[in-house]
Amino acid sequence: MSAGAGISVILIQETKMIGEIGHSVVSFYAADSGVEQQLYDLYKIPPEDPHLPQYSSILNNTASYIVTAKCSASADCYVGFVVDENCTALNYCIKSVGSYEKTKRAIEIEY
């Protein structure tokens, strides 16, 4: 009986872990969406239009992201972007944090 109880405890923990792995994947792709949106904005929105260095969005599956872009000291920045001396990129350093349920994943890029 104790062996059966021990095995059921292990199975329950494994089931929870598998569910959290799925949340991790959704969080990662939400963070990726934030990076892609910021890159799109930087390349496609004309320089005279307003650009946001930080914003967030809630996606259709209730996942969300918060994306922040900082300007490199060696680049010409859009108005409102913070110049970050620690950003070693040619243009911008972008960080996006995706979250789903209780799981968060982040992506940082430099370009």
pLDDT tens column, 26-64 = 999 999 999 999 999 988 888 778 888 899 999 999 999
**For residue 7, what are the CA distances in angstroms to 4, 11, 105?**
5, 6, 31
Share of residues in the chain with pLDDT > 90 (%): 50
Flag whether pLDDT at 19 surpasses 90. no
User: What predicted TM-score, i.e. pTM, was given to this entire model?
Assistant: 0.80
Rounded Cα–Cα distance for residues 29 and 34 (Å): 9
Domain span at residue 45?
2-110
How many domains is the chain partitioned into structurally?
Answer: 1
Over the chain, what is the mean pLDDT?
87
**For residue 36, what are the CA distances in angstroms to 18, 55, 71, 78?**
28, 13, 17, 18
Flag whether pLDDT at 17 surpasses 80. no
Rounded Cα–Cα distance for residues 51 and 64 (Å): 20
